[in-house]
Amino acid sequence: MSTNEHRKALLRKLSRNLMVSVPMMTVVAVAGFSAGSGAPFGLVPSAEAAQGEAEGEAKGEAEGSAKGEGEAEGRAEGEAEGRAEGEAEGEAEGEAEGEAEGVSASLKKAVRRPEDYTPYQGNVADLRAQGEKLFNDTSLSSNGLACATCHVNGGLYNPTFKNEYPHVVAMGQRDFGMDMVYLDEMVQICMVAPMAAEPLEWGSEELAALTEYSRVEQKKFIDKQ
Ligand code: HEC
């Protein structure tokens, strides 16, 4: 993925983050891009870019939330525009750094189960249904992809997917230094690498739903062999 394309993806995401307080079109106009460029497909490049994004976004979001409250009270739009530009630059910088260094330590940590982790508990059938929707939802990524874009008809899975979790996954080992991967960790890896998004909240219903649905995917994958 070219730097320019990635920057556009970041900007699209940024504009979503700001949507609460700034009208979408304002940010789009200021940032000077149009939504809807082609979906980039690089895997490792996007894993690396995701790091930069995470770094850039950490800055952007911190500013965004601190300043966002004022905006809600009805400040002039001009101010919002200035900020949108500043934050976009911050992200672009983060991205440049990220691409030079590969997956960051913080991102490697973010896809690992935290120590005090309690998965969300819910009705399995409901979680699967919700997970199937999320699996097809492009708004989960920053680059226009949905999980299903890659995994439609069981595509792109490696034979390791048949194994019981936790198990070795090439992407986890190569890009994240993980010897073993739990299924929910795999969901997070695909969130931050190919989807170039932030990991889902550990313990969230969304993560549980996507994890449950991935079990359905696994069953289909095994049955197909
Ligand atoms: C750009 C393409 C792409 C997208 C989008 C994507 N993945 Fe993946 N996914 C892959 C690839 C490639 C692999 C194989 C990784 C490997 O075996 O090293 C994989 C593997 C997996 C596996 C199986 C790993 C194993 O145990 O062998 C699961 C589960 C998975 N993805 C879930 C998801 C979920 C959930 C999403 C959406 C949040 C998603 N993927 C989005 C490319 C993608």
Tell me if 46 CB under 6 Å of ligand 1.
no
Domain borders along the chain are 3-102, 118-224
Considering only the top CATH level, what class is 118-224? mainly alpha
Confidence of residue 81 (pLDDT cuts 50, 70, 90): low
Ligand 1 binding pocket includes 169 (Cβ within 6 Å): yes
Burial of 217 (0-12, 13-18, 19+ CB in 10 A): buried
> How far, in whole angstroms, is CA 64 from its chain's centroid?
18
* Rounded mean pLDDT, 16-26: 37
Read off the pLDDT of residues 109-151 as tens digits, 9 standing for 90 and up.
999 999 999 999 999 999 999 999 999 999 999 999 999 999 9
For residue 120 and ligand 1, the question of a CB distance below 6 A is answered with no
Whole-number Å distance, alpha carbon 38 to ligand 1 midpoint, is 20
**Angle in degrees, CA 193, 198, 203, rounded to 5:** 115
